[in-house]
Structure 1
Amino acid sequence: MLEILSLSVAVIALIVAQRAHGRIAWLTRRIAALEAGQGAPVAETGAVATAPVKDVPPAPEPRPVVARKPARPSIVARFLPWLRANWIYPVAGLSLVMAAVFLVQYSIEKGLLSPAMRIALALALGLSLVAGGEALRRRWGAGQAGLVPATLAGAGVFTLFAAVLAAYHLYAMLGAEAALLVLALVALGAMALGWVHGPMLAAMGVIGGSAAPFLLGGGGPPPVLLFGYFGAVATLGLGIDGLRRWGWVSILAVALPLVAGVLIAGGGAPSWGLALLALWIALLGTALPGGRLVPGAEGVPLHRWRARPGLEVIVAGLSVLGATLAILTQVKAPESLLAMGALAVLLPLWTARAPALADLSLIPALGLPLAVPVAGITTPLLLSMILNLQSWLPQGSVALAVLAGLAMLWRSERAGGLARDLWAILAVATPGATLVAVEVFWKPMSLLGAAWPFTVMALAAGYTALALWAARRDGGQGARLGAAAAAAIATIALALMLILSAGALTVALAVLLAATAAMDRRFDIPYLGWIIGLGTMAMGWRLLFDPGLDPILLGEMSALDTGLTLLAVLAGPLAALALIRGLPAHPARDWGRIIAETGLSGLIPVVLAVAIARFVDGLSPHASLGLQASVLIALAAVQMARARALPGSRAMLWLRRGLAGLLGFAAGLCLLANLTLFSPLAGPGFLASPVRGWPVLNDLVLAYLAPALMLAWTLRHRPRARFLAAIPGIYWLALVIRHLWHGGARMGLDTGFAQGELYAYTVALLVAGALALALALRLGVTGYRIAGLALIGLAAAKAFLIDASGLTGLMRVGAFLALGLSLVGLAWLNAWVTGRMAGSPAEPPEGVIR
């Protein structure tokens, strides 16, 4: 009885306190009104003599200053002050719920009532609280009653939920279906009460309705009808909140049913039900939060999130993003592909009258090609079977992407300005990206045969028709024409990749690249610069990775195909650059030009090195490592050149620099291994191998001279780092001399040194010193002169300390006579160079780098 007495006292105290609170508020407003009516007396002033005023031209009318709309505080920022001022209401509601629980517990402990009477008592108490709250609201209204009616009604709703769950779990008075039906009715009643009592009741209805199936439990897979149930909960929550415009209740109505659907799909329910639920929530979430049946949101779009988009836009973005993630991660193929395609087709049409939601179409447009590789994760063991049994799926995915592109193209026609071009680019990119994803991850050529290249060419024909249509609509200019033409060329290239051999394909791509540049020159379509840049990248990709260097170097590719490949890799970008030379500047065209120029700067040395290696009899390990180092250095140089030349964001700049650093580090590792473990000086063994080839013209050129030349070219703008190129260069020269005296099979240090070999090293040091002095005179760089003197000093020290021990008689006399005369000549050359450099201007001539 104590619990019942406490419950009664709490209800009476709440009513009395609320009446007193309303009375105090009325008195406060009355006092403020009386104080505002007493104005301060105004002092009387006499007439003031005024001097004549000269005519002054009127000041220009100031421009109206548009006041910035203050940022709307977040939900948390609004909730915390509310909780500080109204904490008594949640505590009171919790107390009422606990009183009901304790009442039922007391009846169980004392054995006073039967189970049916206990449930009936709990239901009666819940209904009484709801009725009491509604009576208070109707008697005094929301102004004087405050949150007391909502508190009582909320406590009643929770009591009803607890009573139904107790009837199901404790006493088995209801079956699972009946319990779910009653819980759904209670949730529906809570949302209906929220219409008049405020958002808390509506939120309670959404939360209770979403949690009801999980509170019931039960074995076996969940029934598919639960997806429809969660769709109804989302519809009611979005509908009520859309008319009352609370905002945050819509977030619950989107998130909770979607999460519940994901959970029951994970519990064994068919995934196609989750796909339908996600589509339903995505479409409703873009319309109902604005109080409309069709989307019509205006204002700040979601991508301008710093400008604080409205809750209607935020809910729409959450619904589309949540639906996309649910389909991608939880729905198996082929339903995932079909659902993503349907969302990509419907969303541009559905949001046609909602300019603030235009950017949301990008989400399913990205999700459709992404669903292709993700299908291998969500359907890991059955995907191959699905593709074999449903061979229409690759072509069907592309067809859905084409329909989505047509919907986006329709939006492009309705839009204007930049939005017109962006819609067109998205319309072109969506089918192309889906086609590439299907080809890369599913390899449908083995399944469909010739039908797959025919599908690719059909899409290329569609792009060509789109380009012709855009040329007529836009006067032969614009992004729509450029994007369609670029996509047509890229799709034709993909079709050629599917049907041609390696060498023929590279030649075809080169011809296509030149044809693209010719089209740009003839019709002035600057957006084809994208294809020129991407085509140059494709040339490098084919040379280095697919089919790559191995078939060329190992002789798996015929000499004719090798020659055609190497020629086409250089001829395609060169022809494109020659054709677009002199055309007006444009961002897309300039980007393609820079990519082609920098790509050629890396491809030319690689092609030369590969051509030499192709015709060397076998490729030794040190030659292979040197070739790899040359390729990596060339790629690093290309990335650094693009970082300097291409405009872009700071992130792209650091990305290119980071990529260049990684490539340079890999090249350094290759060179270090070549100078130590794989060096011919290590002698024949597990890693080292003999030198192959003639004197001077052997595989040492690939192993050491090619990386040295690549380093010298790459570091031409960095004087302080040029010494790095000298390391493999000097090493190559020393090995060439040793090869002359010992041959390719006796290069190891364990064979010792020949006397003539030592003299050759001395002569090489003297010649290198003389060349350094000549460079110092030519370039006016003091560092070269110092290096030359160091080399000459090293040669002299070597002659006295090493060479002299092996000479006797007249040979010793002649050798030191020649050394002395050489040193005298070099000393005179050094003095002459020093004098010329001292008499030259302080700054070197233009174009000389110190």
Structure 2
Amino acid sequence: MTDLLVLAAFIFSFLAFARTRQANERFTRDIAFLQSEIARLSAARLPADSPSGTLVTEPATDVAAIEMPTTDAQEDERSAAVAEPETIDADAASATPEEAEPQKPRESLESWLGARWAVWVGGVALALGGIFLVKVSIDAGLLSPAVRLVLAALFGAALMVGGEMIRRRGPADGGQRFANAMIPGILTAAGAVTLLGAIFAAHAVYAFIGPTTAFVLMGLVSLLVFGLSLRHGQALAGLGLVASLVTPLLIDADDPSPWSLFAFLSLVWLAAMATARIGRWRIVPAFANIGLALWGTVYLIAEDPALTLPVSLSLLVLIAGHAYVWPAGADDAEPEAIEDVAEARPLAADAAAEAGDAVATPAVPASRSAAHWRRLLLPRHAPIILTGAFAVLMTGLSLIGPLTETDGNPTYEFLAITAALGLLGAVRVRAVTAALTAGLLAILGVSTLATLPMLLELSSIGVVAERSFATSPVAALSLAAIFIALCAFALHRHGDRHRFVILWSGLSAVTSVACIGLSFLILGTYAFDPLHGIAATLAALAFLALADISVRRDASFPIVAQGLLLAGALGQLVIAAHALSDGLWTVLAMAVFAVAFVAATRVRDWAALPWVGALGFVFVLARIGWEPTIVGPLALGRTPVLNALLPGYGLPALFALWSAYTLRDWPSDRLRNTLQAIASLFGLLTLAILVRHAMNGGQLQGGTPSLSEQSIYTLLVIGASAILMRLDLSRPGSFLRYGSIGLGAVSLLMTLSAHLVGLNPYLTGEMLGPYPLFDLLLIGYLLPGLAYAALARMAVGRRPPIFVAALATAAAVLAFTWATLSVRRAWQGPGIADWKGFLAGETYTYSVVWLALGVLLLVASLRFHSRSMRIVSGVLVFVTVLKVFLFDMANLEGLLRALSFMGLGIVLIGIGLFYQKVLTSRPKPAADVSPGTDA
């Protein structure tokens, strides 16, 4: 079984090697074609002013510059695009494809078997032959173990030397044609495997050499393979990397030292990165990152207790290697003219739009902007940065996780690793993914550290309690300070990279707020915590200073980055308000911070300031939503109006109203609309919460509201709609227009669902009160009906006709309901529940009242020229007719039935006479009124 596994491993290794060689052949062929094509086109180009017969050729450096790594397809494509001539003459353009690139002959089966398959199988056979020779000698006892090992080592060395000799003497065209079946690379790989096998057997099987000697020898062979891979390709480097990472597993030491282990792994990792830098590879460095991460994580979890410092130092080596070895600044060296000049203009255009700048700024298409973001977040060497950042993230979390047992305190090591990873993202522009990963590592680390004691109590893992620093928030506060400092460094170093600046501004704001906020939530004292309060206040001042310095230094500083820095300051101030105060004072402090950002527009003309102020009011709303009583249910007084609700809701409402008024001339319509919406919402909340408190005995958590309470809410919404409509007349705005319509629609829904159905006293049996007219029906139906009538009158000609008609219909329906229920109260008393039935006189009175309402609406429609009122009048009269003929005829008797029909007839004749006079009094040529308008 072991032999089969060994054979399979060799086969897979050489297949991978073959695939790499195929790519090498394709890239080499393309480069050769490009070189010949450039030379041909350059020779064919003749400028008009050059001497006759003189050919203008391109400098040799241009052709040489095309030479790129053999395993990087994207770089070859970019190089080909750069090297392609911009203009060609007619003769060159008329060249046929056959002249440009001769038809490549198709490779025959004989050639494939003889030149490729034979090489692959031969390499595997050589490696297995050496192994089997050693096995036969062992079984037969022909040679001593020492001789066998020496012969195996000599055989491996001979294979490697032979591979190098064949490479130097081999034909150039054969190397390009059979690049995926290069005999030198196959021989070198087989020799390396043989040498590693001999060293392992000398240590593990025969104990001829100790663990230290075996460790050093296998490491030297692996490093030798790295060096030879520069001549034979990335596949051989992968073999050396695998051999190096497996070497510590094959060495059986009595007392393994983590210092030696991670020193060796760091050395191997550096060798892999240096080799990759020369060969400009990406796959091998990515696997090197993953290998180092696996070693560190497995060691920390498996070792008891684990020594964390060697692991931390190896991670620092990994971070430094990415910054200065490979990819270092390879991607940063790309031209940034598009990003820094043209790409920065959309941000300036947005700022100009927000500030009302009349100067038009050219915009960049969204697809192009997205491409720049992709290039920033996913550069060419993204696999290396991503795997390296993931390695630090996984190992860093294992360093402080509950599964790691250590006698020390890895706090400062974790801080150093996180800071170094963030510094990598600040130093190298194209390594911003490392900075994002550092922010995630900081947030997850603070969460892990703060909850670690809880996790240990719930688990069965026996860990020394002193290994945790969870009882102290120093780590979280330090991480917040680190990211603010890194943001300042990044903005100072790369202030002209606008998208980089935006990303770092947002990262520092989110990370610092999250670190301090999590620390306060888990470790802080809610009533009064000066440590978190002072730290948050200092962080807020740092963000404000950073924004001010950045804007002063660069007038084109992105508005988005400015807003993110100010939002970070606001977030820290919110934390400080919760840490240094409680209850009502917390809400007031948050409201003061919000209005302070709006007031700061008088000092700094920053377009982001009022938006951050609006965000502050949103935070106040969220705080109120979390605790509507402001001070807690038990501490809330029962006195109507004069309690903590008045300042808790009223002062933020006044601040929001002042903010909207102060910025009434602000050029941005969206900002004005937002602040107006916030002010309106605060005003409605204040009135509604005071009503709720007053009508529920000083409590907010009551049951279903009564009709009287619901009526107050309806009146408030109708009044708010009227206020917004009136404001829209004096200073038009989209929010004022659509906000008034929206509030009107909400009030209509409230009327339909609550007043007419859910809370109707006829259905619920609620008592109306002892005084007729001044009872529940007055506030529940008549006053809302009059309010709807006034709102409809105000909306005529200013709002859509369908909205005006809906308001007028609601007014008529509420008036009809009030009149009907008032009649029932006159006959039934304060209790008008449906179970009481109907009296004969009551039934007749309904007909009289309904007809009177119909006539009044008809007269009012003539006075106000309202077609909708005439329609409602007609509907009401028609309902009365149905009621008289269907209900009164069956239920009334004697004089009442006769009076009912007589009254109906008189009213109908009067209505007919009214319409005849109205229609005959109009001029004949008058145009018809359209159905959608009032006349």
Question: Given that residues 164 and 179 in structure 1 are in contact (C-alpha distance below 8 angstroms), is that contact kept between their aligned partners in structure 2?
Answer: yes
Separation of aligned partners in 2, 1:410 and 1:306: 22
Deviation at 1:342, TM superposition (A): 3.9
Separation of aligned partners in 1, 2:259 and 2:912: 96
Give yes or no for the alignment of 1:454 onto 2:454: no
The answer for the alignment partner of 1:320 in structure 2 is: 389
Gaps of 5+ in 1: 8-17, 38-67, 642-660
Deviation at 1:237, TM superposition (A): 0.5
| Higher relative contact order (CA closer than 8 Å, sequence separation 6+) | 2
The answer for the alignment partner of 2:324 in structure 1 is: 287
Question: Given that residues 376 and 383 in structure 1 are in contact (C-alpha distance below 8 angstroms), is that contact kept between their aligned partners in structure 2?
Answer: no
Separation of aligned partners in 1, 2:386 and 2:805: 54
Give yes or no for the alignment of 1:615 onto 2:645: no
Q: Deviations over 1:263-303 (max 9, x none)?
A: 444435566665544443233123312478x9964447996
Separation of aligned partners in 2, 1:569 and 1:191: 68
The answer for the alignment partner of 2:224 in structure 1 is: 189
Deviation at 1:600, TM superposition (A): 3.5
Given the superposition, is the C-alpha separation of residues 584 and 76 from structure 1 closer, same or farther in structure 2, using an over 3 Å criterion?
closer
What secondary structure does 2:576 align onto? helix
Amino acid at match of 1:449: D
Deviation at 1:732, TM superposition (A): 12
Separation of aligned partners in 2, 1:602 and 1:303: 40
Separation of aligned partners in 2, 1:75 and 1:773: 83
Give yes or no for the alignment of 1:133 onto 2:163: yes
Deviation at 1:519, TM superposition (A): 2.0
Question: Given that residues 776 and 784 in structure 1 are in contact (C-alpha distance below 8 angstroms), is that contact kept between their aligned partners in structure 2?
Answer: yes
Separation of aligned partners in 2, 1:174 and 1:669: 90
Give yes or no for the alignment of 1:408 onto 2:462: no
Amino acid at match of 1:364: A
Separation of aligned partners in 1, 2:133 and 2:490: 62
Question: Given that residues 502 and 547 in structure 1 are in contact (C-alpha distance below 8 angstroms), is that contact kept between their aligned partners in structure 2?
Answer: no
Q: Deviations over 1:292-333 (max 9, x none)?
A: 8x9964447996436997644552354235434553577438
Amino acid at match of 1:233: V
The answer for the alignment partner of 1:502 in structure 2 is: 583
Given the superposition, is the C-alpha separation of residues 353 and 76 from structure 1 closer, same or farther in structure 2, using an over 3 Å criterion?
closer
Q: Deviations over 1:356-377 (max 9, x none)?
A: 4467534434543454345567
Please list, as runs of the form range in 1=range in 2, the aligned pairs for 1:307-346 lying within 5 A after superposition.
311-312=380-381, 314-324=383-393, 326-328=395-397, 331-332=400-401, 341-342=415-416, 345-346=419-420
Amino acid at match of 1:184: G
Given the superposition, is the C-alpha separation of residues 425 and 768 from structure 1 closer, same or farther in structure 2, using an over 3 Å criterion?
farther
Q: Deviations over 1:70-120 (max 9, x none)?
A: 997469999xx9999966654443344444455556567777777777666
The answer for the alignment partner of 1:438 in structure 2 is: 518
Deviation at 1:758, TM superposition (A): 6.6
Separation of aligned partners in 2, 1:834 and 1:323: 88
Question: Given that residues 297 and 355 in structure 1 are in contact (C-alpha distance below 8 angstroms), is that contact kept between their aligned partners in structure 2?
Answer: no
| Segment of structure 1 superposing worse, 240-249 or 413-422 | 413-422
Deviation at 1:252, TM superposition (A): 2.3
The answer for the alignment partner of 1:372 in structure 2 is: 446
Q: 1:544 aligns with which of 617, 625, 648?
A: 625
What secondary structure does 2:665 align onto? coil
Given the superposition, is the C-alpha separation of residues 386 and 571 from structure 1 closer, same or farther in structure 2, using an over 3 Å criterion?
farther
Separation of aligned partners in 2, 1:830 and 1:168: 117
Given the superposition, is the C-alpha separation of residues 105 and 157 from structure 1 closer, same or farther in structure 2, using an over 3 Å criterion?
same
The answer for the alignment partner of 2:886 in structure 1 is: 801
The answer for the alignment partner of 2:236 in structure 1 is: 201
Deviation at 1:205, TM superposition (A): 1.2
Please list, as runs of the form range in 1=range in 2, the aligned pairs for 1:151-190 lying within 5 A after superposition.
151-162=186-197, 183-190=218-225
Give yes or no for the alignment of 1:533 onto 2:618: no
Q: Deviations over 1:627-673 (max 9, x none)?
A: 8xx99x99xx99xx9xxxxxxxxxxxxxxxxxxx9xx99x9999989
Q: 2:280 aligns with which of 227, 233, 245?
A: 245
Deviation at 1:427, TM superposition (A): 8.0
Separation of aligned partners in 2, 1:218 and 1:811: 115
Give yes or no for the alignment of 1:305 onto 2:374: yes
Deviation at 1:560, TM superposition (A): 1.9
Deviation at 1:483, TM superposition (A): 6.3
Amino acid at match of 2:323: T
Deviation at 1:388, TM superposition (A): 12
Give yes or no for the alignment of 1:600 onto 2:662: no
Amino acid at match of 1:457: T
Separation of aligned partners in 2, 1:771 and 1:112: 126
Amino acid at match of 2:324: A
Q: Deviations over 1:232-262 (max 9, x none)?
A: 3221110111123233322222233224433
The answer for the alignment partner of 1:94 in structure 2 is: 124
Give yes or no for the alignment of 1:425 onto 2:505: yes
Deviation at 1:355, TM superposition (A): 4.5
Q: CA RMSD in A?
A: 6.4
Separation of aligned partners in 2, 1:548 and 1:198: 71
The answer for the alignment partner of 1:64 in structure 2 is: none
Given the superposition, is the C-alpha separation of residues 613 and 699 from structure 1 closer, same or farther in structure 2, using an over 3 Å criterion?
farther
Q: Deviations over 1:698-748 (max 9, x none)?
A: 9989xx99xx99xx99xx879599989999997999699779759999787
The answer for the alignment partner of 1:236 in structure 2 is: 271
Q: Deviations over 1:510-531 (max 9, x none)?
A: 3333333222134423321222
Deviation at 1:151, TM superposition (A): 0.6
How many residues in Structure 1 have an aligned counterpart in Structure 2? 746
Question: Given that residues 187 and 205 in structure 1 are in contact (C-alpha distance below 8 angstroms), is that contact kept between their aligned partners in structure 2?
Answer: yes
Please list, as runs of the form range in 1=range in 2, the aligned pairs for 1:612-691 lying within 5 A after superposition.
612-617=691-696, 621-623=703-705
Separation of aligned partners in 2, 1:413 and 1:105: 65
Separation of aligned partners in 2, 1:387 and 1:700: 67
Normalization by structure 1: what TM-score?
A: 0.67
Q: Deviations over 1:588-615 (max 9, x none)?
A: xx65433322333444444433232211
The answer for the alignment partner of 1:576 in structure 2 is: 659
Amino acid at match of 2:894: G
Gaps of 5+ in 2: 5-9, 11-20, 41-65, 79-105, 340-370, 403-407, 459-463, 725-741
Q: 1:696 aligns with which of 769, 773, 776?
A: 776
Please list, as runs of the form range in 1=range in 2, the aligned pairs for 1:17-96 lying within 5 A after superposition.
73=73, 89-96=119-126
Deviation at 1:581, TM superposition (A): 2.0
Question: Given that residues 521 and 583 in structure 1 are in contact (C-alpha distance below 8 angstroms), is that contact kept between their aligned partners in structure 2?
Answer: no
Given the superposition, is the C-alpha separation of residues 677 and 371 from structure 1 closer, same or farther in structure 2, using an over 3 Å criterion?
farther
Amino acid at match of 1:612: V
Normalization by structure 2: what TM-score?
A: 0.62
Give yes or no for the alignment of 1:517 onto 2:565: no
